[in-house]
């Protein structure tokens, strides 16, 4: 998928570069006239990825109009657009003149006139062509070498390098220099405009698809990383919470055990006050049992502590976490069972 996306991107960029290189001389000419009391207008537009970027700065003072147009071409892979406008009591009149379409229409009209003249000469001179044969081709006639309508002196149909292209505005069919649509074929202009719009739409769609794919891939990667980080954070927080809860439970259990022992000691004191001899024997037995239980508890606590260290070691290296977590929980439950058993056994005594 990534390889096809790169190939599609390269083909689109080559197509865009070819179109831009063919139309690199078709500059936009903008004339702006502003009348204001206090106006500060700054517009900065930066469009990259092998496109043409136009940066326009207009500074206007009272009874003075200054217009500056600068064209800059930049090639990167980032698109940034920033527009800042501050206006106070402004009256602006803007007139925009695009000569690009006029020049293209003149070129098409010149090509059509040359083709009509060639066809007319072929119809009149079919039997006396310069190559001596009676066919309808004039490939070696001087007619194809006598294309003096274009200003650059070559035999092609383009006038991209004509020097007098902008000055030859009086060769439309009606003789004026305005934007009338009766000079040329309306269908041809509509077809050309549709082609230009289609090309612009195709380029925009391709660029949007690449940006969406990159954004989707970046969003997917960020989402996956965020999910993993969130899962890891939740997992760590859960482990920390469990450890804190376990510690708090031990503290509470210890406090409860201490409170119970204190309560038992109070009961033992009361019992000792009444039955000294029996309690002495019972105290000896309890002391022995308590020592045994303390020994057993100490042994088990050592084992539990060792296992907890072993468990933490495995958690730190991310191996067999769930298995050892369950095993540790089982031993913790087993330890709680022994505490409960001791409590039950002591109450039975």
Measured distance CA(277)–CA(11) in Å, rounded: 103
Are 50 and 75 in contact by the 8 Å Cβ rule? The answer is yes
Are 150 and 162 in contact by the 8 Å Cβ rule? The answer is yes
Measured distance CA(253)–CA(28) in Å, rounded: 83
DSSP 49: S
DSSP 110: H
pLDDT confidence of residue 102? 76
**80-97/51-61 β-pairing:** unpaired
pLDDT confidence of residue 123? 79
Three-state DSSP state, 213: helix
Long-range contact set of residues 232-241: C-beta below 8 Å, sequence gap at least 24? 239/315
pLDDT confidence of residue 126? 66
Tell me if the pTM is above 0.75.
no
pLDDT confidence of residue 60? 46
List pLDDT tens digits, range 238-291.
444 444 333 344 444 444 444 344 334 444 444 444 444 343 434 333 333 333
pLDDT confidence of residue 4? 58
Counting as low any pLDDT under 50, the low residues of the chain are: 25-49, 51-97, 138-149, 151, 155, 157-174, 176-349
pLDDT confidence of residue 117? 82
Are 173 and 85 in contact by the 8 Å Cβ rule? The answer is no
pLDDT confidence of residue 1? 53
40 φ/ψ angles, rounded to the nearest 5 degrees? -130, 110
pLDDT confidence of residue 14? 73
pLDDT confidence of residue 34? 45
């Amino acid at each position: 998928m990534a390889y096809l996306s790169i190939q599609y991107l390269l083909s689109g960029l080559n197509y865009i570069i070819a179109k831009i290189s063919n139309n690199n001389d078709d500059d936009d000419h903008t004339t702006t006239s502003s009348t204001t009391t206090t106006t500060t207008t700054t517009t900065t537009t930066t469009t990259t990825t092998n496109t043409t970027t136009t940066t326009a700065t207009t500074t206007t003072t009272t009874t003075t109009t200054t217009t500056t147009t600068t064209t800059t071409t930049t090639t990167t892979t980032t698109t940034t657009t920033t527009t800042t406008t501050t206006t106070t009591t402004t009256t602006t009149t803007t007139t925009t003149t695009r000569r690009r379409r006029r020049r293209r229409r003149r070129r098409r009209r010149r090509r059509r006139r040359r083709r009509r003249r060639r066809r007319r000469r072929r119809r009149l001179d079919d039997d006396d062509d310069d190559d001596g044969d009676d066919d309808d081709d004039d490939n070696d006639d001087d007619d194809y070498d006598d294309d003096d309508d274009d200003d650059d002196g070559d035999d092609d149909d383009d006038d991209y390098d004509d020097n007098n292209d902008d000055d030859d505005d009086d060769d439309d069919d009606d003789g004026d220099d305005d934007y009338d649509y009766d000079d040329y074929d309306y269908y041809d202009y509509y077809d050309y405009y549709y082609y230009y719009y289609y090309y612009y739409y195709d380029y925009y769609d391709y660029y949007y698809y690449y940006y969406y794919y990159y954004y989707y891939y970046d969003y997917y990667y960020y989402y996956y990383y965020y999910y993993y980080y969130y899962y890891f954070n939740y997992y760590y927080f859960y482990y920390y919470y469990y450890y804190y809860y376990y510690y708090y439970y031990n503290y509470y259990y210890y406090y409860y055990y201490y409170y119970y022992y204190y309560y038992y000691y109070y009961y033992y004191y009361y019992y000792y006050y009444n039955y000294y001899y029996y309690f002495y024997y019972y105290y000896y037995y309890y002391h022995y049992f308590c020592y045994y239980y303390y020994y057993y508890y100490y042994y088990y606590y050592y084992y539990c502590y060792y296992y907890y260290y072993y468990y933490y070691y495995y958690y730190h290296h991310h191996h067999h976490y769930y298995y050892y977590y369950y095993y540790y929980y089982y031993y913790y439950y087993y330890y709680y069972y022994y505490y409960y058993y001791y409590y039950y056994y002591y109450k039975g005594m």
